[in-house]
C-alpha cells in the first residue's frame, strides 16, 4: 500500500473524510454580467478556498487508493507492450492484462474470453449497437431501445437511422420502468438488437433486465440483448448468464477505477457477431484494435475485485446514507418529489424535484456541494432533462430537479451538511418566489391564464 505521506501529497488535505485541496485562483471573467453563469460553467478556486463536498457519484467516482496502488508498478517498472510475445517485458504485461480480464469477468459471472477492453462505456455502447446492427443488416434492419437511455446510445441509434435502419424508441412508464408487454410487442422478425440500460444514470431506476433477457422477450425471439450497465456493475449483483445478456457495457471510472478504460462483455455461446468500429492490429479478438493500456486495465481489474469483495457492505452503507439524506430533506421542506420508482432503484442515485425553485439557482446557492441537475454529458444545456420529460414530469418540476449521488467515500457528516444546506437554500429561494407566495395563499397555479407582454 502507499504510505500516508504519498497519499497526502497526491490528494491534498482532507475535509469531512473526502480529499480536498486549495487551488490557485485566476480571474477569467472579463464581463461582470457573465459571472452568474460562470459560477455554473466553471472557475478556479480562490487561494485557500476548500473544494466543495462531492455528491455527484453518478458523474464519476474518485479512484480508490488501492486501485492506484495496483496501477503504479505498471506505470513505471512493468511498461512492456502486452502484445509483445518475444520477451519478458511483454509477458509481464500480458499476464497482468489477463488477470484483469478475469477480475472483470468474475464480477459479472462471465468467461474471461468474453471480456473486450475498451476506452469506456461510450465506446462499448457504440461497438454493441452499431457493430451488431451492421453485421446482421442483410437480414435484420430493426433496433429497439428506450427514450431514457444514455445519450451515446440514443446518438448511436440516430446514426443507424441515417444509414437506413429502423429504430423504435420505447416510452417508459411514469416510474421510469419499461413496459415489458409493450417491449415484447415491439420486437419484429427483422429486429436484431434490444438495448435497455440496467440502472438509469439520472433517476437511478433499475430496469427489469432479467425479464427482458428471458425466453419470453429476447432469447425466444432470437434477438440479441445489450445493456448499458455502467451505473450497475460493482454496485448491485450482476450475472450475465442469469440475466441472459448478450452484450454488456462497463465503465472504469464509475466503480472507483481510472478514467479512460472500460469493457464490453460479448457472449461466446450463442455467439454474438459484430463489425469492429476501428481497424488495426486485431487485438481483443479482432473486435477492438489498438494496444491495450496495461496500467488502466490493471486499475479496472483491481476496482472490479474490490467491488466484488465489498459490494454488500457498500450497498448497505450507501442505502443507509441515501435514506438519511432523503428523510432529512423530505421532513424539512414540503412539495418535494422524488423522481423514478421508489422501490426498483439503486439507492445511491437520488433525483429530487423542488417545486417553485429553479434547479440552476439552487445549484448556485449550494456552491459548496458538488451536485448536478442531470447527466454530466448534457449538463451544459439549460433544457430540462430528457429523462424527466420521458417519465412525464411537468416542465416546471423538471427544471427544479437536482441529482444527489452517494458513494463509497461519502460520510454521514457530508450527508447531514448537504441536507441542512439544501433545506436552508430552498426555503430562502422560495421566500423570493411569487409563485410560492401564491401557493401559500391557496391559489391554484394551473388555473391561472398567463399572458405574454
Residue 145 in contact with residue 196, Cβ under 8 Å? Answer: yes
Residue (of 352, 378, 377) closest to 366 by Cα position: 352
Alpha-carbon Rg for the chain in angstroms: 23
- Local structure of 170: helix, strand or coil: strand
Cβ atoms of residues 405 and 55 within 8 Å: yes
Q: Is 422 a catalytic residue?
A: no
Task: Provide the sign of the torsion angle of the four alpha carbons 128, 267, 176, 220, taken in this order.
Answer: positive
Joined together, the cell numbers standing for residue 379 give 449538463
Peptide bond into 257 cis (omega under 30): no
CA dist., res. 122 & res. 145, Å (int): 16
Dig out the grid coordinates for 452 from the structure.
Answer: 405574454
Instruction: Copy the grid coordinates of residue 412.
Output: 454521514
Cα end-to-end span (Å), the chain = 66
Q: Which is catalytic among the residues 152, 218, 377, 422? A: 377
Backbone angles phi, psi at 343, to 5 degrees: -105, -50
Q: Which residue bears the cell 464581463?
A: 31
Q: Which residues are catalytic?
A: 377
Amino acid at each position: 500500500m502507499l504510505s500516508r505521506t504519498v497519499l497526502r501529497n497526491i490528494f491534498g488535505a482532507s475535509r469531512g473524510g473526502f480529499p480536498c485541496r486549495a487551488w490557485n485562483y485566476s480571474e477569467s471573467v472579463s464581463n461582470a454580467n457573465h459571472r452568474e453563469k460562470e459560477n455554473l460553467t466553471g472557475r478556479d478556486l480562490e487561494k485557500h478556498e476548500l473544494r466543495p463536498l462531492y455528491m455527484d457519484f453518478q458523474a464519476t467516482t474518485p479512484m480508490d487508493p488501492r486501485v492506484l496502488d495496483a496501477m503504479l508498478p505498471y506505470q513505471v517498472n512493468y511498461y512492456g507492450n502486452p502484445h509483445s510475445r518475444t520477451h519478458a517485458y511483454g509477458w509481464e504485461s500480458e499476464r497482468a492484462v489477463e488477470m484483469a480480464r478475469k477480475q472483470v469477468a468474475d464480477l459479472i459471472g462471465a468467461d474471461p474470453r468474453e471480456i473486450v477492453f475498451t476506452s469506456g462505456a461510450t465506446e462499448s455502447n457504440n461497438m454493441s449497437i452499431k457493430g451488431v446492427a451492421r453485421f446482421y443488416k442483410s437480414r435484420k434492419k430493426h433496433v429497439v431501445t428506450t427514450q431514457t437511455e444514455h445519450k451515446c446510445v440514443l446518438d448511436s441509434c440516430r446514426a443507424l437511422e441515417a444509414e437506413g435502419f429502423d429504430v423504435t424508441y420505447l416510452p417508459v412508464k411514469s416510474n421510469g420502468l419499461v413496459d415489458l408487454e409493450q417491449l415484447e410487442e415491439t420486437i419484429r422478425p427483422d429486429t436484431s438488437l434490444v438495448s435497455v440500460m440496467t440502472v438509469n444514470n439520472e433517476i437511478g431506476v433499475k430496469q427489469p433486465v432479467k425479464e427482458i433477457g428471458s425466453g419470453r422477450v429476447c432469447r425466444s425471439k432470437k434477438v440479441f440483448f445489450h445493456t448499458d450497465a455502467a451505473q450497475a456493475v460493482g454496485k448491485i449483483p450482476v450475472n450475465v448468464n442469469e440475466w441472459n445478456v448478450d452484450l454488456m457495457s462497463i465503465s472504469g471510472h464509475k466503480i472507483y477505477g481510472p478514467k479512460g478504460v472500460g469493457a464490453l462483455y460479448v457472449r461466446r455461446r450463442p455467439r454474438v457477431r459484430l463489425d469492429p468500429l476501428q481497424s488495426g492490429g486485431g487485438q481483443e479478438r479482432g473486435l477492438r484494435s489498438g494496444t491495450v493500456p496495461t496500467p488502466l486495465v490493471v486499475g479496472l481489474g483491481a476496482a472490479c475485485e474490490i467491488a466484488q469483495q465489498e459490494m454488500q457492505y457498500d450497498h448497505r452503507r450507501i442505502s443507509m446514507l441515501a435514506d438519511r439524506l432523503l428523510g432529512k430533506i423530505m421532513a424539512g421542506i414540503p412539495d418535494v418529489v422524488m423522481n423514478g420508482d421508489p422501490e426498483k432503484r439503486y439507492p445511491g442515485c437520488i433525483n429530487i424535484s423542488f417545486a417553485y425553485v429553479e434547479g440552476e439557482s439552487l445549484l448556485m446557492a449550494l456552491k459548496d456541494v458538488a451536485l448536478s441537475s442531470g447527466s454530466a454529458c448534457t449538463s451544459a444545456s439549460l433544457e430540462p432533462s430528457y429523462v424527466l420529460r420521458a417519465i412525464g414530469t411537468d416542465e416546471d418540476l423538471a427544471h427544479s430537479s437536482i441529482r444527489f449521488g452517494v458513494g463509497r467515500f461519502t460520510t454521514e457528516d457530508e450527508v447531514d451538511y448537504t441536507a441542512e444546506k439544501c433545506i436552508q437554500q430552498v426555503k430562502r429561494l422560495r421566500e423570493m418566489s411569487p409563485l410560492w407566495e401564491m401557493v401559500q395563499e391557496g391559489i391554484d397555479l394551473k388555473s391561472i391564464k398567463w399572458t405574454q407582454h
